[in-house]
Every structure is written in C-alpha cells, then in structure tokens.
C-alpha cells in the first residue's frame, strides 16, 4: 500500500526549543519539507502521560506551534498538526492497545525510566505512560508514513510501531506500511556546562542554550562553556567541550572557520576565547531571524491558532479515512455519515 507521507515526526510541547532540539531534529525537518511529503506536529496527548498542569499544557502547545514555524517549518510546505486536534489518534491508539501484548509495552526502556522518575517525585505513574508508545504507533501509522526521523532514543518505540503494523496487517487487513527510522547524521549537541553529556533541559538551565534566548544570554553561555579542564588531553585530541564548540560552528554553517580552529589546535594552540567569540557570533546570526519571526508570530497568535486548526482539520480527513478501514477490518460498525 502506498505511503501517504514520506516523512513524519512529532515533538512534545516541552517548553522552549534548545539548540539540541534545533540542530538534532527541527533543522532537519525544515530541510526535508522541501524535498518530500512531510507531516510534523506537536504531541500534546503524549505530554499528559506524566503529571501536567492544564494551563501550561495549552500554552506550551501554542508556543511550540509558533516556535516550529519561527524555525522555518512552513504550513504551506508541510502538514503541521496539533495531535489532540485530531482526536482520532486516541481511537486508533485504543484499538492498537487491544492488539498489542501487554509485555511489549511493559518492556520499553523509556517506560521503565520515566515510571521510576515519576515515582521518585512521589507521584504514581499513569496507565497512559505505559500506552505512550502505542499512541506513538497510532500517530505514525494513521498517516501511513514511510520514514520517521527520530533520535536513537526512539528506536525502540519505532520498532514497536513496526511490530504493531505487522500484527494488524497479518491478523486483520493489510493496511499499514511498516515505517522505518530515518537516521540522518544529526549532530549531538553537548551541554556547555558538562560537555560529557547531551544538551538537555532535564539537566538544568545552565546545561542548555535556547534557540530563542537573548543574544546576550547565548554569548554568555558560550563564553562560560567548559573547555579543557586542567591539562589538554595528552594524545593531541581535543577535549569534549572544545569538540562541542566546533560542532556548533560546523552546524551553524561555519565549517571553514571550524576547520581553521582545528588546524590551529592541532599545532598546539590552546586559546579558546577566539573560538567562543566566533561561535557566539555564528549562533546569534543564525537565530536572529528566528527571534524576529517568533515575535511576529506571537503578535499574531490568533492567526497561528486558526491556521493550526485548519491544517489539523486536513489531517483529520486522512485520519478518518484510515479509521474507516480499521473499523471495517476489526468488526467495529462504520460511523454514520
């Protein structure tokens, strides 16, 4: 069966985008939207699987819609949705939940990690957390997507989506193409405060640089980034912090400058202030237009909501068609027209 979308990927409305999210995911989506039929979106249902605040959930969902567009996703060039504005996702997730062995869900690494985290905060984890990857399978299979660009941490969930598709196709009707992960060589962006770890909001604010941080903040965080701690590595290799800064320069479109610094450092120069200066400038230059677009989109918040509603309504038509097939194959009655 033909894929409806070549590429599909979704992101949680988890607050401001970091440079890690941008270079690791969103920049790639922006590139793909001109090359393939793409669906991108914001998974607010997934954000409910751990304790959440209603007012924040809604705010962050609209903020993320704005931020993705400010980064360059264009609703004219890709289908951009809010998951819960296509409530059929939950219906398909329910049907999938009923054909998926419990043990497949219970063995997911992310479920084990997150359930432990929630318990450590003194709360009990929800049944939704267990169903998380099944909802993710519904997101993907609903649109018969061929490729799913995700970080390696999502491989297990993607494998589950493939398994669900296989079970459905075998037991009920051959409807779903098996989605494959799309591992483009997305760079790993490191924490400026601890470059042995990935940049991540869960580590704390000094570990992240936000795409929409003020230019001063970006420069300051780059300036205070950890480089060599004590002596430089003896074998002539660069320390993780220096590599991290060079990566930022590479991915900001300044690969030549990065190469220049690499050559100097290979000759034994260990001065990092000039590198930090250039990295700060490059990041600010790259993000300036995004900050501008974000301000404009925020000023027209209503229009963004309307537009997200319209594009989600278009997605809904595809979702309804898929569910009609699924209901037919599983013995549920067709919905009255």
- For residue 139, state whether it binds ligand TRP (rule: CB under 6 A): yes
Nearest to 282, CA basis, from 334, 222, 225: 222
- Selected catalytic residue, list 56, 107, 188, 198: 198
- Selected catalytic residue, list 114, 144, 206, 276: 114
Nearer to ligand AMP, 283 or 319 (CB): 283
Choices 150-158, 242-250, 257-265, 313-321 (CB under 6 A): range interacting with ligand TRP: 150-158
Annotation says 223 is catalytic? no
Distance CA 251, CA 249 (A): 6
Q: What is the 3-state secondary structure (H, E, C) of 197-247?
A: CECCHHHCHHHCCECCCCHHHHHHHHHCCCCCCCCCCCCCCCCHHHHHHHH
Choices 133-141, 256-264, 291-299, 309-317 (CB under 6 A): range interacting with ligand TRP: 133-141
Nearer to ligand TRP, 89 or 219 (CB): 89
- For residue 148, state whether it binds ligand TRP (rule: CB under 6 A): yes
Task: List, in sequence order, every beta strand (DSSP E) within 33-130.
Answer: 38-42, 79-82
* CB of 90 closer than 8 Å to CB of 135: yes
Q: Residues 34-53: x/- map of binding to ligand TRP (CB under 6 A)?
A: ---------x--x-------
Nearer to ligand TRP, 84 or 252 (CB): 84
Cβ-defined contacts of 329-333 (< 8 Å, 24+): 329/168, 329/172, 329/173, 329/175, 330/95, 330/172, 332/95
Choices 2-10, 245-253, 284-292, 312-320 (CB under 6 A): range interacting with ligand TRP: 2-10
Residue whose tokens read 């909802």: 135
* CB of 215 closer than 8 Å to CB of 284: yes
Binding site for ligand AMP (CB under 6 A): 11-12, 14, 20-21, 24-25, 150-151, 186, 188-189, 198-200
Q: Among ligand TRP, ligand AMP, none, what does residue 49 contact (CB within 5–8 Å per kind)?
A: none
- Catalytic positions are 114, 198, 201
């Amino acid at each position: 069966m033909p894929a409806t979308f070549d590429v599909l990927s979704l992101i949680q409305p988890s607050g401001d985008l970091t440079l890690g999210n941008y270079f690791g995911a969103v920049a790639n989506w922006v590139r793909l939207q001109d090359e393939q039929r793409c669906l991108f979106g914001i998974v607010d249902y997934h954000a409910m699987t751990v304790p959440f605040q209603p007012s924040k959930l809604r705010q962050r969902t609209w903020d993320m819609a704005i931020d993705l567009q400010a980064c360059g996703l264009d609703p004219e060039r890709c289908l951009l949705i809010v998951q819960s504005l296509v409530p059929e996702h939950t219906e398909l997730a329910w049907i999938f939940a009923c054909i998926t062995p419990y043990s497949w869900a219970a063995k997911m690494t992310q479920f084990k990690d997150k359930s432990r985290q929630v318990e450590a905060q003194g709360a009990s984890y929800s049944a939704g957390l267990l169903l998380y990857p099944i909802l993710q399978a519904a997101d993907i299979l609903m649109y018969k997507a061929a490729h799913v660009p995700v970080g390696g941490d999502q491989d297990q969930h993607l494998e589950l989506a493939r398994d669900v598709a296989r079970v459905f196709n075998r037991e009920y009707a051959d409807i779903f193409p098996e989605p494959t992960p799309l591992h483009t060589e997305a760079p790993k962006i490191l924490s400026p405060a601890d470059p042995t770890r990935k940049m991540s909001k869960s580590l704390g604010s000094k570990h992240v640089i936000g795409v929409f941080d003020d230019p001063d903040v970006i420069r300051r965080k780059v300036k205070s980034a950890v480089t060599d701690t004590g002596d430089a590595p003896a074998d002539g290799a660069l320390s993780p912090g220096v590599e991290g800064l060079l990566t930022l320069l590479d991915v900001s479109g300044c690969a030549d400058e990065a190469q220049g610094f690499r050559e100097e450092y290979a000759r034994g120069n260990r001065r990092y202030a000039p590198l930090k200066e250039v990295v700060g400038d490059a990041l600010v230059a790259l993000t300036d237009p995004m900050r501008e677009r974000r301000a404009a989109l925020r000023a027209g918040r209503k229009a963004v909501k309307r537009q997200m509603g319209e594009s989600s309504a278009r997605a809904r038509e595809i979702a309804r068609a898929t569910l009609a097939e699924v209901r037919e194959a599983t013995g549920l009655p067709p919905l009255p027209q």
